[in-house]
Homo-oligomer: A and B are copies of this chain.
Amino acid sequence: MDFEHADALNQAIRLLSLRHRARAASLLAPLGLHTGQEALLLELDRTGPMIQAQLSEALGCEPPSVTLMTRKLEAGGHIRRTPAPSDKRASIVELTDSGKALADQVKQLWCALAEETVGGLPAETVAELPGILKTLTDNVDTRRPTTQAAPARSSAVRSPSKAS
């Protein structure tokens, strides 16, 4: 691939990151949230109480990030952290009532943001977009076990990834 195309792609991803994040920030600000925190609330709302290590895995960010985010959300009264009885190292994180209400509001914003984001695109493109983005993500994901240790270069490493 020549540099022109490569740069167009990388730059497009970079700019989409910046703008989508900025737009999310402007929508979340009235709720007193910063970008990233909404993902934590939504994950707790979806999965229920869980320990920070699980949150770290689900959110795709590192434990120190989870520590800081949970601390701020706890200070805001949206989540509660209680020591896990079975493992004294871990703390169980769960939504408070305020957090649940907030998560519901976030859901609304999230739908509006998604619609705004894909506006003007054909429906079929919209339909396959999540899959495409996930493929891109997996391709550059250094966290996951890469699904193979083979020295295969630029071959289609389409693993039959079963849902985890």
A residues at B contact (CB < 8 Å): 1-3, 5-24, 26-27, 30, 39, 42, 60-61, 107-123, 125, 129-130, 132-137, 139-143, 152-158, 163-164
Residue of B nearest to A125 (CB): B132
Residue of B nearest to A27 (CB): B164
Residue of B nearest to A123 (CB): B155
Q: Which B residues lie within 8 Å of A121 (CB)?
A: 132, 135-136
Give the shortest distance, in Å, between A75 (CB) and chain B (any CB): 23
Residue of B nearest to A2 (CB): B111
Say whether B153 contacts A1, CB under 8 Å.
Answer: no
Q: A6-B114, A15-B60, A120-B155 are in contact. List 5 more A-B contacts (CB 8 A).
A: A6-B113, A22-B140, A23-B141, A115-B156, A120-B156
Residue of B nearest to A7 (CB): B110
A-B contact pairs, 13 of them (CB 8 A): A6-B114, A8-B130, A9-B118, A10-B110, A10-B117, A13-B16, A13-B20, A23-B142, A30-B164, A112-B163, A119-B154, A121-B132, A123-B155
Q: How far is the CA of A105 from the CA of B136 in the complex (A)?
A: 23
Given contacts A9-B117, A153-B119, whether A137 and B3 have CB atoms under 8 Å apart is no
Partner of A137, one of B12, B137, B139, B143: B12
Give the shortest distance, in Å, between A108 (CB) and chain B (any CB): 8
Q: How far is the CA of A74 from the CA of B30 in the complex (A)?
A: 38
Q: How far is the CA of A38 from the CA of B14 in the complex (A)?
A: 11
